[in-house]
């Protein structure tokens, strides 16, 4: 008599980590807010509206939060990590951009006066 074949159980479908989704959303929303705040500042009156200042505050704080979420999402072993990696890249690039912008403004202020 033939032996019954034992088949391996199929792997369960992994879901994206909530931290990775939050990280990606923080990065993309920060990027879109950055673009919107740059367009709002290009007003012909030359004044900076208060809502633009609030948007800039969000633009600086969201990548930090998203970067933390990305690290948490990458460390998760029970979930997919692709969105966490995408969020890490987006938020990391935004943080590097802000660091370069602040460095440029600091050196321009020192050498300009």
Judge whether 9 lies within some domain. no
Instruction: Evaluate whether residue 59 is within a structural domain.
Output: yes
Sign of CA dihedral 74, 78, 79, 80: positive
Residue 33 within any structural domain of the chain: yes
Q: What integer pLDDT is reported at residue 28 of this predicted model?
A: 95
Q: What pTM was estimated for this model as a whole? A: 0.75
- The answer to whether residue 43 scores a pLDDT higher than 80 is no
| Helix pair angle (50-75, 82-112), 10° resolution | 140
Tens digit of each residue's pLDDT (9 = 90 or more) over 50-109: 666 677 778 889 999 999 999 999 998 888 899 999 999 999 999 999 888 888 888 887
Domain count, the chain: 1
Q: Give the domain extent around 60.
A: 18-112
Assess if residue 4 is contained within a domain. no
Give the separation between CA 104 and CA 80, rounded to whole angstroms: 38
């Amino acid at each position: 008599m033939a032996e019954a074949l034992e088949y391996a159980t199929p792997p369960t479908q992994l879901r994206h980590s909530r931290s990775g989704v939050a990280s990606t959303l923080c990065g993309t929303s920060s990027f879109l807010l950055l673009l919107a705040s740059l367009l709002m500042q290009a007003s012909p009156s030359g004044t900076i509206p208060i809502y633009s200042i609030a948007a800039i505050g969000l633009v600086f704080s969201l990548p930090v939060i998203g970067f933390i979420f990305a690290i948490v999402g990458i460390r998760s072993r029970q979930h997919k990590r692709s969105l966490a990696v995408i969020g890490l890249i987006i938020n990391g690039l935004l943080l590097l951009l802000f660091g370069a912008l602040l460095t440029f403004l600091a050196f321009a202020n020192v050498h300009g006066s």
